Amino acid sequence: MAKSLSILFITSEVLPFAKTGGLADVSAALPLALTELGHDVRLIIPKYGSVSERRNRIHEIKRLKEIPMEVAGEETIAVVKSSQVVNARAKVQVYLVTNDKYLEPLKGIYTDPKTGKDFPNNDERFIFFAKAALETCLRLGWKPDVIHCNDWQTALIPMFMKEMYAKEPMFAHARTVLTIHNMAYQGAFPASTFAKTGLPERLAPAMEHAGKTNFLKAGIAYADAVNTVSPRYAKEIMTAEYGCGLESVMKKHGEKLWGIVNGVDTEVWNPNTDKLITEKYSLNNLEGKYENKTSLGNRFVMDADLDTPMFGMVARLVEQKGYDLICDSIDKLAALPAQFVFMGEGDKKYETVLTRAAKKYKNIGFFHGYDEELAHLIQAGSDAILMPSRFEPCGLNQLYAQAYGSVPVVAKTGGLLDTIEEYNPKKESGNGFFIQDLTTEGLVATIQKVMELFHNEEQWESLLKTIMAIDNSWKASAEEYVNHLYRKG
């Protein structure tokens, strides 16, 4: 039996502490799944000003109250506190790093809630966090076998380890892994940002891309292994269409690139145990799903009609998620004998269109923002979940949809192609529908196709039971991380 590993998981957001998207879900679920496999996992995350110490049971650690470090040529102090991420089967120790300049005074995670714009010192904030995470590990006296970093916010850590901590015995045998959850977000800052890292000037080219200091480029170059959250996306980011300017960098380091599909935390996303929905249900008893559909309709002040198909969508209001297509199609969607509910926040132009549509049409509902309880109710109460994404590294909502018996209606891209098979009514095979053409006509045609099947009650219920029986739990994905990324080298 292979020995268990010591894994330090470093990320910028984790449920229940801070969330802007799927990264927070993954950053809680994967460490818990790794712990269930017998590994010693510890999490390090920032403690933003919006994180409640009382609600999250965060405690001080006396020996980690003052950790000095330098950022942008000035000394600053990190304070580290502790908490836990738990489920019914495992718990993971969490260390929360804070600071009275970069984190504690700011209520947002990456953006100012008042303006909706990125904090102007995000470069310094995450230089600070990268250094603080490594210093925390040293002061704990805990020797990790693997340091797993996530996205641009932690991408400087492999570079810092090999250039600033090269002689540190604690890190001598640690393997670094960088997961790219979304290539579009790279941590690109002015060239002057490089000087703030404290690294020698000779290393500036390793971080330079298109005239800017690029955190993600540094992580790709210095990490021992790089992965994306689906095999398809790992191939896509080496192309000009999806590489977001870093495709040549990915090709150069392609030999250390891997793709692993995300899983579902079945402790959180399970209609048989979910406390956030109106009525629990299972594939053997779907009555509760219809109660949730009624509740969802009532939430958006719609007539609850079980014979009318309900389409739900939970995603950031950005073009990547296909909201340009939704908004261009909104009048045609409203004309269909179906109901549509949308939840998200982001670009004001999409918010404006959806707000107006919800006021104008009785069969369209819109919630601006993100609400965890409503997200669960949309999965439970919808007949189908829309994901017309322009690109999708993995996607989680199509996996949640299957667990809740809501049929995924998705674009043909990234992880959606890895997790969805087109439904074939003759063979009664497959687990969703692909939007064959990302146009207004293509979207409406696919929705009409789904509606046609919806009215075939026998086939529809058979499809629901098929998708609810699929095992998308984290166990297999966690094992792949261990065997293909952590134990290599």
pLDDT digits (tens, 9 = 90+) for 211-243: 999 999 999 999 999 999 999 999 999 999 999
Q: Are residues 257 and 308 in the same domain?
A: no
- SS3 of residue 373 by DSSP: helix
Q: Are residues 254 and 312 in the same domain?
A: no
Q: Are residues 61 and 91 in the same domain?
A: yes
Q: Are residues 68 and 195 in the same domain?
A: yes
- Sort strands 364-368 and 384-387 into parallel, antiparallel or unpaired: unpaired
CA separation for the pair 449, 458 (Å, rounded): 16
Q: Are residues 247 and 382 in the same domain?
A: no
Q: For the chain, how many structural domains are there in total? A: 2
Q: Are residues 197 and 344 in the same domain?
A: no
> In terms of Cα–Cα distance, which of 63, 71, 57 is closest to 122?
71
Task: Give domain status of residue 274, yes or no.
Answer: no
Task: Give domain status of residue 291, yes or no.
Answer: yes
Beta strands in 91-169 (DSSP E): 91-98, 146-150
Q: For residue 213, what is the domain's CATH number?
A: 3.40.50.2000
> In terms of Cα–Cα distance, which of 213, 17, 184 is closest to 126?
213
Task: Give domain status of residue 280, yes or no.
Answer: no
Task: Give domain status of residue 269, yes or no.
Answer: no
Output b/e per residue, 353-382; b: 16+ Cβ within 10 A.
bbeebbeebebbbbbeebeeebbbbbbbbb
Which pLDDT score, from 0 to 100, does residue 1 have? 60
CA separation for the pair 390, 402 (Å, rounded): 21
Give the range of the structural domain holding residue 192, as residue numbers without chain letter.
6-263+474-486
Which pLDDT score, from 0 to 100, does residue 22 have? 87
Q: Are residues 255 and 336 in the same domain?
A: no
Q: Are residues 456 and 482 in the same domain?
A: no
Q: Are residues 439 and 478 in the same domain?
A: no
Q: Are residues 38 and 70 in the same domain?
A: yes
CB atoms < 10 A from the CB of 444, how many?
16
Task: Give domain status of residue 277, yes or no.
Answer: no
Q: Are residues 76 and 200 in the same domain?
A: yes
Q: Are residues 478 and 454 in the same domain?
A: no
Task: Give domain status of residue 410, yes or no.
Answer: yes
Task: Give domain status of residue 130, yes or no.
Answer: yes
Residues (pLDDT < 70) of the chain are 1, 489
Task: Give the Å distances, CA to CA, from 25 to 107, 212, 400, 468, 474.
Answer: 20, 30, 12, 20, 11
Angle at 391 between CA 209 and CA 185, to 5 degrees: 35
Task: Give domain status of residue 273, yes or no.
Answer: no
